[in-house]
Amino acid sequence: MTSTSVCPSLATGSGTSRTAPLPDCRGTTVSAFIVPRAYALRGNPPGPWRVTLDPMPIDPREVEALFRDSGAFLEGHFVLASGRHAPRYLEKFQVLQWPRRTERLCAAIADEARDLAIETVAGPTTGGVILAHEVARQLGCRAVYAERREGEKGREFRRGFRLGEGERVLVVDDIMTTGGSAQETIDAVRAAGATVVGAAVLAKRSEGRVDVPLHALWEVKMESYDPAECAQCRTGVPVVHPGTTIIAAAAR
C-alpha cells in the first residue's frame, strides 16, 4: 500500500506528490492534501481528492510575531536609511533569511495586488530585491530593482532593465520609515515611462509616506529623531549603521 501526499503551491495551487508505504492495508492507495499555513479550505470539496483553497489574509499580529521570532526586533542606537536616529530597529534580513517566512509575507502582498493586473514588481536595493522577486514569482510576472544613483540623489534601473510605456508596476519595500526609498523607486518607474499602480511594505513606521496607494502588512509606532535632537548622541551611546556595522544590540 502507498500513501500519496500533494502539496499545493502558494502561487498556482498546483502541487507535487510524495509516495510512502503504509502498513497493514495492502492493495489500497490513499491520497491526502497537505494544506500550507497561508491557505484555508473553502466549502465542501467537489470530489474525494479535490479541495478549493483561498489565501488567508495576514494579521498584523502575525507579522509582528514573525519579526520577533526571527530576532529582528533590536534595541540600541541606530542610524536609519533616512539618516534619522532610533533606539529600536527592525532588522528585516533576520526575517528574510527564512524562505518560508518570506514566502508567507509576500503571499499576503501578492493577494492584495492580484486584481490589479500587475505586469512587473519593482523594489529598491537591498531588501526590496528579495521581496520584488518573491512577490513577482507569486503573481507570475517579472521583477526589477532600482539602485541608488552614483553621486546624486534618487534611484535608477541598471543591468539592462527596461519598462514599457504604461506598464503596470507594483513597488514593494521592506521597512518604511520616511518612505524615501520607496518614493525614489516610484519616481524611477515613472521616469522609465511606466505606471505605478500602488506600493506595499512589510512594516510602516508612523511617519512613512508615498504618493501612491500604500498597503502595509504591519503599522508599528517606533520613535526616531533628527541627529541634532538625539538624546543617545548627547549621552555618548555608540551609534550603529545597520548593514555596515557589526550589530551588538539586544533582540527583543
Structural domains of the chain in order of their starting residue, each with its CATH number:
2-55 (no CATH), 60-251 (3.40.50.2020)
Q: Which of 215, 244, 243, 207 is nearest to 92 (CA)?
A: 243
C-alpha span between 28 and 189 (Å, rounded): 57
pLDDT at 51: 36
pLDDT at 246: 45
C-alpha span between 30 and 130 (Å, rounded): 38
Orientation of helix 60-69 relative to helix 99-113, angle to 10°: 160
pLDDT at 45: 39
pLDDT at 65: 96
Alpha-helical runs (H) found in 176-224: 180-191
Which residues on neighbouring strands pair with residue 29, listed in sequence order? Answer: 2
- How many CB atoms neighbour CB 31 within 10 A? 13
Residue pLDDT tens, the chain, 252 long: 433 333 333 333 444 444 444 445 455 443 433 334 444 333 333 444 333 344 568 999 999 999 999 999 999 999 988 889 999 999 999 999 999 999 999 999 999 999 999 999 999 999 999 999 999 999 999 999 999 999 999 999 999 999 999 999 999 999 998 899 999 999 999 999 999 999 999 999 877 899 999 999 999 988 889 999 999 999 999 999 886 544 444 455
C-alpha span between 143 and 121 (Å, rounded): 5
Start-to-end CA distance of the chain, whole Å, equals: 49
C-alpha span between 171 and 188 (Å, rounded): 11
C-alpha span between 73 and 222 (Å, rounded): 11
pLDDT at 207: 75
pLDDT at 166: 96
- How many CB atoms neighbour CB 212 within 10 A? 17
Q: With contact defined as beta carbons under 8 Å apart, do 41 and 35 qualify?
A: yes
